[in-house]
Amino acid sequence: MTQPRIRCTLEPVSGDPGAALVVLGPSLGTTTALWDEVAARLAQGFRVLRFDLPGHGFSPAARDPFTITELADAVVALVDSVGGGAFHYAGISLGGTVGLELALRHPDRLLSLAVICSGARIGTADGWRERAAQIRASGTPSVVAGSADRWFAPGFLDRDPAAGSAALERLLDVDDESYALACEALAGFDVTDRVAGIRVPTLCVAGELDQVTPLALLADLAARIPGARLATVDGAAHLPSLERPVDVAALLAAHLADREPAEAPARTTADVYRAGMTVRTAVLGEAYVDAATAKITPETADFQDFITRYAWGEVWTRPGLDRRTRSFLTIACLVTGGHEQELALHVRAALTNGLGRAEIGEAILHTAIYAGVPAANSALAVARDVFELLDAEPAADPDAASRAPTDQP
């Protein structure tokens, strides 16, 4: 087993970068788009982080097995990468199982929990293994029809064909093996005997018409968790944030209203360094960071500590921008300054952070207007060389260390 790699989007609340953080977890086969309308409403008073499961949306595909516990650890690492601290969590279906693991494994980090259309165990282990085998044999197109029946209440596709068809089209883009591995993670998930130990304020939400995780399952979960409350979204099936976003946003807003965090303690130097190493490794790759660390000498140690703490631990973890945006800005700054070696490093980093090659080209083209054509021309040559190196690398080695000789933020 290995901790999977996942990516996120972050919507800072207007005018208050220090607002409480709400993390929203998706259902299997969906992406961050599942939360679009709910996130827009919550972002009026909270910072909102949404993540994609492995092989879904912006997150890279998984090739090694992972557990729900390891997904929960990956979510904590994401939160650390944008500043750390305690956070609220709401998740649907598989996202809800991640929330239960967070409450059990990281109770000191969780301010509140909302478990939506989920459970301490979902379905049967054999059923999930059969789904995994089906996906490996026939791909995600083979489950589109079944997903439409499971996800949506009768009549929803007629009422809102655009939203429903868009969700099903995104399912077609999910990496088959990652989907299968997620099914196997659900096959191994059962915390029925442990949820009584959850102590964070918890809301359990059922879809009135949900056949996957029916009301009785959520009622049983709420009864097992001390102090948990139960709510139902009328007219919704398994994806109420898509079917009834206004209702879900209202439920979450009411749940969070009485759960504002106490003032977070100031981060220590060690906290900042750890957060910096987390982000640095996530962006530049474990192989690169290990190689750079191995080359530290007494003469360079202070500089490496400085870069890790101030660049990666202070600036890259600030909540005001997500990593994709920071990569855009970093590329523009490096092109403007003519720092071609560092640019090669950050072209790779930008790909890790979810930028496409065309987007990187657009960023460089944009700088040509404001930083000069010669600088942009040199930058395009650097990007081209990096892309050629990546295309030549073995597919099994996506995190090979950058050819750039220095480690800059």
Which residue, of 230, 257, 284, is where some domain finishes? 257
Mean pLDDT, residues 255-280 = 70
Q: Verify that 252 and 296 share a domain, yes or no.
A: no
Q: Residue 396 — very low, low, confident or very high, per pLDDT cuts 50/70/90? A: very low
Q: Verify that 386 and 305 share a domain, yes or no.
A: yes
CATH code for position 230: 3.40.50.1820
**Which ranges constitute the DSSP H helices of 82-214?**
94-105, 125-138, 144-151, 156-159, 161-172, 176-187
Q: For residue 398, is pLDDT > 70?
A: no
Q: Verify that 318 and 203 share a domain, yes or no.
A: no
The answer to whether position 210 is within a domain reads yes
Contact 140, 176 (CB under 8 A): yes
Q: Residue 253 — very low, low, confident or very high, per pLDDT cuts 50/70/90? A: very high
Q: Verify that 126 and 198 share a domain, yes or no.
A: yes
The answer to whether position 195 is within a domain reads yes
Max Cα distance, the chain (Å): 68
Task: Please give the tally of structural domains in the chain.
Answer: 2
Q: Verify that 152 and 289 share a domain, yes or no.
A: no
d(CA 367, CA 330): 12
Q: Residue 111 — very low, low, confident or very high, per pLDDT cuts 50/70/90? A: very high
Which one has a higher pLDDT value, 84 or 260?
84
Q: For residue 310, is pLDDT > 90?
A: no
Mean pLDDT, residues 52-73 = 95
Residues 6 or more apart in contact with residue 50 via CB below 8 angstroms? 8, 9, 10, 11, 23, 24, 26, 32, 35, 39
Provide the domain limits for residue 132.
8-257
Which residue, of 257, 287, 322, is where some domain finishes? 257
User: Which of 155-159, 191-195, 347-351 shows the highest mean pLDDT?
Assistant: 191-195
DSSP letters, 47-103, are: EEEEEPPTTSTTSPPP-S---HHHHHHHHHHHHHHTT-S-EEEEEETHHHHHHHHHH
The answer to whether position 104 is within a domain reads yes
Q: Verify that 236 and 276 share a domain, yes or no.
A: no
Q: For residue 59, is pLDDT > 90?
A: yes
Q: For residue 80, is pLDDT > 70?
A: yes
Q: Verify that 242 and 337 share a domain, yes or no.
A: no
The answer to whether position 115 is within a domain reads yes
Mean pLDDT, residues 75-83 = 91
pLDDT of residue 261: 41
Q: Which of 137-146, 171-180, 265-274 is least confident?
A: 265-274
Question: What six digits make up the tokens of 6?
Answer: 């996942």
What's the predicted TM-score (pTM) here? 0.69
Q: Residue 69 — very low, low, confident or very high, per pLDDT cuts 50/70/90? A: very high
Q: For residue 125, is pLDDT > 80?
A: yes
What is the number of other CB atoms lying within 10 angstroms of the CB of residue 339? 18
Residues 6 or more apart in contact with residue 184 via CB below 8 angstroms? 65, 128, 129, 132
pLDDT of residue 395: 55
Q: Verify that 239 and 316 share a domain, yes or no.
A: no
Arithmetic mean of pLDDT over the chain: 88
pLDDT of residue 247: 94
Which residue, of 257, 290, 307, is where some domain finishes? 257
Which one has a higher pLDDT value, 407 or 335?
335
Residues 6 or more apart in contact with residue 150 via CB below 8 angstroms? 211, 212, 237, 238
pLDDT of residue 115: 98
Element (H, E) at 349: helix 340-352
Q: Which of 133-137, 170-174, 311-315, 391-395 is least confident?
A: 391-395
Q: Verify that 310 and 178 share a domain, yes or no.
A: no
